Amino acid sequence: MIEIKKDIYWVGTKHWELRQFHGHELSTHRGSTYSSYLIRDKKAVLVDTVWNPYQEGFIDSLEKEVGINNIDAIVINHAEPDHGGSLELLMSKIPDTPIYCTKSGADIIRRHFHKEWNFNIVKTGDTLSTGNYELIFVEMQMIHWPDSMLTYVKGANLVLSNDAFGQHYSPLSLFNDEVDTCELYQEAVKYYANILTP
């Protein structure tokens, strides 16, 4: 867990050796990072998960750091496996935990996992209070998939942006002012051209 704002932690996974994404369509010479976040406020809210090959370590880490049963809600900004891949194993342990996602997100998750979980459908402007923070959901249909949304953490001035400002990149640091700027922008432009522009 890496604290990125007060009581907000990155709990994702670095995939150092990834070299291709979406089959052979996109090379990823600098690996990739699966970003998941945990807000440990009066409510504990998990935002996104990680790709399922990393699910056991991801869930073990959550159990150690916060306790799986202490997670009050899960936000899925995007159902694609690099965001929602660990959801089935996680929900097998906490099956009644509410999942906040768009209508398309719930539809895609149902088709992907063939499960009927406790979906809470959100649209732009809907909110979820964690205590000191308020999560504000913003739909971004077809920024990548029809289910896409971002989560703005009011009170932290933080955007959990899904794929909107992404790149396939796995540097040592999580922060853009601590990495090589040329590498960062090369990967951001490549990601935008190949993932978002189409």
User: What's the CA gap between 4 and 97, in Å, rounded?
Assistant: 25
Model pLDDT for residues 105-154, shown as the tens digit of each residue: 999 999 999 999 999 999 999 999 999 999 999 999 988 889 999 999 99
Over residues 89-107, the pLDDT tens digits come to 999 999 999 999 999 999 9
Classify each residue of 2-20 as buried b or exposed e, where b means 16 or more C-beta atoms within 10 Å of its C-beta.
eeeeebbbbbbbbbeebee
**Which whole number is the average pLDDT over 147-165?**
95
To which H or E segment does residue 185 belong? helix 181-191
**Six-digit token string for 95:** 């099956």
Residue 21 has pLDDT above 80, yes or no: no
pLDDT at 27 > cutoff 90: no
Q: Which two tokens stand for residue 121?
A: 């459908």
- pTM, entire model: 0.94
- Per-residue pLDDT of 43-84, as tens digits, reads 999 999 999 999 999 999 999 999 999 999 999 999 998 889
The CATH T-level fold of domain 2-196 is Metallo-beta-lactamase; Chain A (3.60.15)
